[in-house]
Amino acid sequence: MELRKWPKGSRNFRLNKLGYKLGGLIARNWIGREQVESFLLKACKENGLIADDGEQQCRATLASGINAGMARPYPNVEPRAYRVALSTRKNFVKLRPYFRSREGSRKTKGG
């Protein structure tokens, strides 16, 4: 569901939940906190949550979710794990240049 279309009665909960999920990404520096806050607060303005609850309350809800998510960051993902997770050739082809650059630096037997 698009953020701007969240129905009344679930918006605050969903803001906190999404903040939590993105907090795990922020903790790994995979996305910037300011970028997340800006995007989600814009969505709250468009869906009427800021008008109903106020910007201060929305910021507090978002900060609570982000901070909780940052306390439980997503685990690091190793390149080898990508290979196992990729079940189709199509997805592997997209990441092949990344793997080649990593594998090219390894020494091989007989070569």
**Average pLDDT by consecutive 10-residue portion of the chain (111 residues)?**
76 93 92 94 92 96 97 78 53 49 44 43
Say whether both 60 and 95 belong to one domain.
no
pLDDT for residue 81:
53
Say whether both 34 and 60 belong to one domain.
yes
pLDDT for residue 3:
72
Domain with 83, as residue range(s), is: 77-111
Say whether both 22 and 59 belong to one domain.
yes
The whole model's pTM is what?
Answer: 0.67
Contacts of 89 (CB under 8 A, 6+ apart): none
Contact 26, 66 (CB under 8 A): yes
Q: How many domains does the chain have?
A: 2
Say whether both 64 and 10 belong to one domain.
yes
C-alpha 8/C-alpha 18 separation (Å) is: 16
